[in-house]
Amino acid sequence: MSVKTDPVKTFIENPYEMFKQANEINPIQWVSFFNVNGWLITGYKEVEAVLKDTRFIKEIRNLVQEENMPPIPQTLVPVVMLNRNMMLFRDAPNHTRLRGLVTKAFTPRMTERLRPTIVEMANYLLDARKGKTEHELIRDFAYSLPVMVITELIGVPKEDRERFRVWSDSFVKFIDFNTTQADLEAVAPSLEEADHYMRNLIAVKRVNPGEDLLSGLISVSDSGDKLNEDELVATCLLLLIAGHETTVNLITNGYHLLLKHRDEMKKLIDDPSLIGNAVEEILRFDPPVLLTSRWVGEDMELGGQQLKKAQTAIIALAAANRDPNIHESPDVFNVSRGNVKHLSFASGPHFCLGAPLARLETVIALEVLLKRVHDVKLLEEPVRRNNIVFRGFETLKFSGVVE
């Protein structure tokens, strides 16, 4: 194994030890973090402050003139432009405008209306496992449930759902901290394919609109709002790909934690009313997204450190969640923990729009799994996905009887 891959493997297997050591030294410190040099921020109050501070921005082109930025290889231009139009990577006022157009689809009230559909989908997936005793959680359940929900919400035909797995894998690789140019060039064709697919779907919806979110956004765009087709494509792909990706990891990380902490699993079986709190503890203890980032928008002092304009801030959400100044025994997984605080959905202007939906899907997924699958046992220790930002598994194999 090369020197380069050793620290990557170590971090992926257990990022929390590195975060803990960094936080003990200084919650804000300059580091070389894989392929990025920047300020690693690990303390809860420091992470929350940066997420809420509008001096930390998403768009480097708002700080550096185009001619002073590294040139984009021609093969990557279409994909870079696709990402630039996603609200995840935009600042106000464009971020505010884009977010406002989709907020209506992710209010807690509208999300709650999906509950019966999600319950039906979860039970449908488990019905297919009856008579089988060995299961692979991601393939058989945790991938399918969120993609069924989000494609139903947005208006993607059922026969196209499976295509999003490849596109999703490409997207998470594109925004990883450990990605090389060769990695980007390898996944670029897949993301271009996703872009073309969405443009074709938009054309279909313009002719035959439905009651889905995509049809609604097209209607808003065509009626004169400042939403061009590039932004429409990027917004829908972000919701489809990033939205379901995090929920897959949340469900899988959560069930894995319960399989590894049988006393905590028993608590939930004995008292299902704890499941909502358990999801918050899963989000705190082993979240689906470990890190995010910002550009330092101006010279400033933060936590005794002197930050300079256009430097990178590496924001360790998962480290903040285990800050001992916030939680007693932060490295203990406890589904009945009181007042669970975490930043797994971020905070401030970029607080995750899909948080209510992700929470609801995970609560229902765990409720159904715990109620209907018995005598469960982990068949092998699962392998983590090779990604620095997103925390999930390649597969999770377990045995159990589905009633």
pLDDT at 2: 38
pLDDT at 3: 38
Q: CA triplet 49, 50, 55: central angle to 5 degrees? A: 115
HSE, CB side, 13 Å, CA atoms: give it for residue 292: 23
Q: Average pLDDT over the chain, rounded to whole?
A: 91
Q: What is the pTM of this model?
A: 0.93
pLDDT at 241: 83
> In this structure, what DSSP letter does residue 151 have?
H
Domains, the chain, ranges and CATH? 5-402 (1.10.630.10)
Name every residue whose Cβ is closer than 8 Å to that of residue 130 and which is 6 or more positions away in sequence: 402, 403
Cα separation, 88 vs 83, whole angstroms: 8
pLDDT at 56: 97
Count of beta carbons in the 10 Å neighbourhood of residue 316: 26
pLDDT for 96-126, tens place per residue? 988 888 886 666 777 888 899 999 999 999 9
pLDDT for 215-265, tens place per residue? 888 887 655 666 788 988 998 888 888 778 899 999 999 999 999 999 999
User: Which residues in the chain show pLDDT less than 50?
Assistant: 1-4
